[in-house]
Amino acid sequence: MCGCDRGRPAPSASIYTLAPIKLPASTSAIGMEFTLIPAGKFAMGEGVDAQEVTLTKPFQMGVHEVTQAQYEKVMGVKPSKNKGADNPVENVSWADAVMYCRRLSHLPAEKAAGNVYRLPTEAEWEYACRAGTKTKYGFGENDSWLGDYAWFDENSGYKTHPVGIKLPNDWGLHDMHGNVLELCQDWYGEYPSGAATDPTGPTSGSMRVFRGGSFGNLAAACRSANRFEGGSNKRSLSIGFRVAMSPSSQTNNPTPITLPESADSIGMKFKLIPTGTFTMGEGDEAHNVTLTKPFQMGVREVTQEQYEKVMGVNPSICFDPTSAIIYGHSVNPADSITWDDASAFCRRLSALPAEKAAGNVYRLPTEAEWEFCCRAGTTTDYSFGDDRSVLGQYAWFHANSEKTTHPSIEYSSDSRKPNAWGLYDMHGNVWEWCQDWHGKYPRGSVRDPTGPTSGSRRVLRGGSWGDSAEYLRSAFRGRDEPSSRRYVIGFRVVLISSGK
């Protein structure tokens, strides 16, 4: 890119920590340009809020905001109000942008290359915007230069303009200031206090982060550190996005969080799940769900041993002779359990003297609780990312199960990996009954949903040892009649306190 320094004084060493550098460039299958952003350390935020942030992994950042042509190529629709093939796409929500990233990642050429597209984290966005600067803008402090770099309220005519007309920053990125506000991956929240490494924002929230200001904002609102917030479904003609890209090998490790753990009188373990808001479902069904009450989620599926202890019978068909020899009983998940059986198990377990004395009440998870726990803060197809090639590390499914369930205990050597909240087999092993009747999701944002008041089938989640990868996705909804008894179906339970 030539002409980068036009209209701007030579940078002084006291303002710039890095001289302009030419970073490696690349292009996606649909012609989107990227620049490789190096790993590094920077001061995020401004004034008293500034925090040292370290980004340990290099990533590719879109050189431009996603254009209307690039959006239409992947999504097949033209939602923008201010039309122009090379103008940034706008009038898209956070949920739309996430779906765009997912579909782009699934294009055959991108999958083959192992490219996973996503929204940048807020830290990545600011790091890329600053491009090594510590100043108000990515080019320095002077408001009067902003017009060379950005479309904002003084020069935009109150509309978007084709991307890439204004000067790029020192890392070659255009329109980081102005044109459209850019969606970030994170929930909006207070920054963590102290230094942070690869921060991804709060684990839950009600608002998403938008950055960089837009054609409609004053200069000051376009600052590198300025934050906007809005709901996941908010659409506006000043909101668009750019995408980041990482190789699939880098996107499989959401940061694990250690939640408080407890055990009950029959040896089941539970994690205390925090309250929070998340985007449930996918595509047109995506909607914000807020869970206002903490609950404890079973770390694993209920085992055959635990089921028999409470119910006196074991209807399971899958049997693991090795575990029976080693442990004296089958520690595989209970299978061939009807919804009615699973509900009866919860009632009987709650009525055991030790459980009553402890004030413990058991029930099936609601569908919303189940998906919240399965996602563990992620927005990807699976709780570990979008890369199906590593599904076998986390789940028993048709490709690795050898047509049976597998032990559901912590000391099993062939246990699959847990999700970031320490929950096992949310994907695969056995389908898990949820409390809800199956039905259409409500529209808009909801709190503590419990599903339709009546129906003919109950919700099943997570897929099983007999299913292909598609059915194991965090958002995939299975369903069956409450009396259905199939050897791919089991359950896990939620524990709440009766308040005693």
Binding site for Ca ion (CB under 5 A): 175, 179, 182, 212, 425, 429, 462
**365 vs 462, beta carbon nearer Ca ion:** 462
Cβ atoms of 186 and 206 closer than 8 Å: no
Q: How far is the CB of 454 from Ca ion (least distance, A)?
A: 26
Q: How far is the CB of 66 from Ca ion (least distance, A)?
A: 11
Cα angle for residues 384, 389, 395 (degrees, 5° grid): 55
Q: How far is CA 322 from the centre of its chain?
A: 37
How far from 180 is each of 51, 238, 239, 348, CA to CA, in Å?
A: 26, 5, 5, 57
**250 vs 415, beta carbon nearer Ca ion:** 415
Q: How far is the CB of 120 from Ca ion (least distance, A)?
A: 12
For 279, the token pair is 């985007």
Cβ atoms of 420 and 278 closer than 8 Å: no
The dihedral built from the CA positions of residue 298, 302, 306 and 311, taken in this order, carries a sign that is positive
Q: How far is the CB of 430 from Ca ion (least distance, A)?
A: 5
**206 vs 400, beta carbon nearer Ca ion:** 400
Nearest CA to 285 out of 479, 476, 71 is that of 476
**378 vs 429, beta carbon nearer Ca ion:** 429
Nearest CA to 244 out of 294, 327, 186 is that of 186
* Strands 239-240 vs 181-187: parallel, antiparallel or unpaired: parallel
Q: How far is CA 119 from the centre of its chain?
A: 10
**28 vs 179, beta carbon nearer Ca ion:** 179
Q: How far is the CB of 395 from Ca ion (least distance, A)?
A: 8
The dihedral built from the CA positions of residue 435, 437, 439 and 443, taken in this order, carries a sign that is negative
How many alpha carbons lie under 13 Å from residue 66 in its C-beta half-sphere? Answer: 34
**87 vs 115, beta carbon nearer Ca ion:** 87
Give the position of tokens 């292909």.
468
Q: How far is the CB of 118 from Ca ion (least distance, A)?
A: 17
**90 vs 175, beta carbon nearer Ca ion:** 175
Give the position of tokens 């377990």.
349
Q: How far is the CB of 368 from Ca ion (least distance, A)?
A: 17
**355 vs 476, beta carbon nearer Ca ion:** 476
For 261, the token pair is 């753990």
Cβ atoms of 222 and 150 closer than 8 Å: yes
Q: How far is the CB of 252 from Ca ion (least distance, A)?
A: 19
Cβ atoms of 355 and 349 closer than 8 Å: yes
Taking phi over 0 as left and psi of -120 to 50 as alpha, with beta for the rest, 82 belongs to beta
**462 vs 478, beta carbon nearer Ca ion:** 462
d(CA 215, CA 179): 5
Q: How far is the CB of 205 from Ca ion (least distance, A)?
A: 22
Taking phi over 0 as left and psi of -120 to 50 as alpha, with beta for the rest, 61 belongs to beta
**178 vs 281, beta carbon nearer Ca ion:** 178
Q: Give the single-character DSSP code of 414.
A: T
**95 vs 472, beta carbon nearer Ca ion:** 472
Q: How far is the CB of 406 from Ca ion (least distance, A)?
A: 11
How far from 72 is each of 96, 321, 333, CA to CA, in Å?
A: 12, 54, 45
d(CA 406, CA 323): 9
**188 vs 215, beta carbon nearer Ca ion:** 215
Q: How far is the CB of 293 from Ca ion (least distance, A)?
A: 23
Residues 6+ apart with CB under 8 A from 259: 271, 272, 273, 274, 421, 422
Q: How far is the CB of 500 from Ca ion (least distance, A)?
A: 31
